[in-house]
Amino acid sequence: MLNEQATGKASRASLHGHWSSHMAFILAVTGSAVGLGNIWKFPYIAGQNGGGAFVLVYLICVVLIGMPVMMSEILIGRRGRRNPIATMALLGAEEGSTRHWRLVGLVGVLAGILILSYYSVIAGWTLAYVYKSITGVFAGATAAEVSAQFGGFVGDWRLVAVCHTLFMGLTIFVVARGVERGLEQAVKFMVPALLLLMLTLLGYSMNSGHFGEGLAFMFTPDFDKLTWDSVLAAMGQAFFSLSIGMGAIMAYGAYLPQETSITGATAAVVTADTVIAILAGLVIFPLVFANGLDPAEGPGLVFDTLPLAFGQMTGGAVFATLFFVLLSFAAWTSAIGLMEPAVAWMVEHFGRARAQAAVLVGILIWALGFATVLSFNVLADLTFYKGTIFANIDYLTSNFMLPLGAVFMTVFAAWVMCRNSTAEELGGAGTLYKLWRLLARFVAPLAILFIFLKAVGLLPDFSS
């Protein structure tokens, strides 16, 4: 697989083979996008940032920034057909710029490693909740009992470490064997099943008596509560949830057949991802208000609300088990994507066997994960800048590294690559192409920079 390939431009052959079909690509990208970001992170970040206005900014970011960035990332990936670092270097040279564009790929590889280090810990919580659900601990539990369950669990670092280890093991296993087959099957089943279960939960939360309150919280924008830091958090969450800004989608794009429509695939993935995140909010917030919980409580939010609902439903233990199994699957298909850039790079750059690369990268991530494992117990009081070590890793990656990567990728696609190259990848120079170019040349990079600089206080306050 690693032989040198001829570098015919548009028809460059992939070093890793192709997706079995157009649909397989959409499924794989959807699998990477739909994960803990939608169900665990979106509700708690929205809760911490006051709800409505945050959600609105999030949606605007998804459409005006997320979509053009994702299209740029896929088209770069398909044109380069290599791991993100090699692709950026190759295209940089090919488009008459410099090979130093590879640094963008490098930042992405690092972001993936850092994100997975904490992602795996939260996925470990999910695995533990599969076990708790099976044993029926939530049946008839009160809000206080459910939150005591959560507190007791994350407070026990050894237990959390075991779950994190188990999840990393599962991830390394799939990545080592090569991504293709199993992944397609898993996603094909998982996303529809997750959607169905969320709809069931939605029915429950509509009957909780506090649905209106939940709706109002999510969709009534109160701009007084919105700070530039929340706007940055909304944008960072859009990048995180769509899996963009770090080269993962670029790595997936490298395996995409030439005839697949990048615009169409992007629209499908973005829609699926956004629908699931909004649904999660619609399920969780009514439960928060029905039980007198705090929407801003943080990373424990899903684990404190959903088990309550399951505990009161008939057949709740079955639904709960199913739900946490599906969420674990969703996290699994995302974790694979987070590891892919680093592994693909090690394979191509150092000529390692795939399995060996997966184990090496996996062990590094596993070790880094202990910073997060301990952030909720032993080191919970070790706070600086944005909070615990976990909070800082999250802030650094979502709100700094992903936006930075996204700026460079869109600038590369829209300013450095020649018109012919991008028009060829995006299927001609029609209206949609012009719209992409407008967003990718000006709107997305300027908006990202502006929001970032505002949030860190490097731009003056014009309003006062």
Residues that bind ligand TRP (CB under 6 A): 32-33, 35-38, 115, 240-241, 243, 246, 248, 334, 337-338
Smallest distance, ligand TRP to C-beta of residue 459, A: 27
Nearest one of 265, 292, 295, 227 to 42, comparing CA atoms: 295
- Residue 47 or 311: which CB sits closer to ligand TRP? 47
Reduced to 3 states (helix: H, G, I; strand: E, B; else coil), residue 363 is helix
CB-based burial, 109-130: b 16+ in 10 Å, e otherwise: bbbbbbbbbbbbbbbbbbbbbb
Phi first, then psi: what are they for 36, rounded to 5°? -60, -25
Q: Could you identify the residue written with the tokens 């990332």? A: 73
Whether residue 170 contacts residue 366, with contact meaning beta carbons closer than 8 Å, is answered with no
Rounded to whole angstroms, the Cα distance separating 150 from 176 reads 33
How many alpha carbons lie under 13 Å from residue 121 in its C-beta half-sphere? 30
- Residue 42 or 150: which CB sits closer to ligand TRP? 42
Nearest one of 93, 439, 4, 16 to 253, comparing CA atoms: 16
DSSP structural state of residue 399: I
- Residue 32 or 260: which CB sits closer to ligand TRP? 32
Phi first, then psi: what are they for 184, rounded to 5°? -55, -45
Nearest residue to the partner ligand TRP, using Cβ: 37
Smallest distance, ligand TRP to C-beta of residue 129, A: 16
Smallest distance, ligand TRP to C-beta of residue 399, A: 13
Nearest one of 64, 462, 451 to 233, comparing CA atoms: 451
- Residue 141 or 339: which CB sits closer to ligand TRP? 339
- Residue 95 or 340: which CB sits closer to ligand TRP? 340
Rounded to whole angstroms, the Cα distance separating 270 from 255 reads 19
- Residue 284 or 317: which CB sits closer to ligand TRP? 284
Question: Residue 100 has which token pair?
Answer: 């130093």
How many alpha carbons lie under 13 Å from residue 203 in its C-beta half-sphere? 6
Smallest distance, ligand TRP to C-beta of residue 64, A: 19
Smallest distance, ligand TRP to C-beta of residue 33, A: 5
Smallest distance, ligand TRP to C-beta of residue 31, A: 8
- Residue 33 or 317: which CB sits closer to ligand TRP? 33
Smallest distance, ligand TRP to C-beta of residue 249, A: 7
Nearest one of 266, 295, 294 to 426, comparing CA atoms: 266
Q: Could you identify the residue written with the tokens 């007198």? A: 292
SS3 content of the chain, % helix, strand, coil (to 5): 75, 0, 25
- Residue 249 or 426: which CB sits closer to ligand TRP? 249
Rounded to whole angstroms, the Cα distance separating 334 from 94 reads 31
Smallest distance, ligand TRP to C-beta of residue 97, A: 25
- Residue 33 or 170: which CB sits closer to ligand TRP? 33
DSSP states of 83-124? -HHHHHHHHHHHTTS-GGGHHHHHHHHHHHHHHHHHHHHHHH
Smallest distance, ligand TRP to C-beta of residue 87, A: 16
- Residue 33 or 407: which CB sits closer to ligand TRP? 33
- Residue 211 or 395: which CB sits closer to ligand TRP? 395
Query: For the chain, how far is it from start to end, CA to CA, in angstroms?
Result: 60
Whether residue 1 contacts residue 180, with contact meaning beta carbons closer than 8 Å, is answered with no
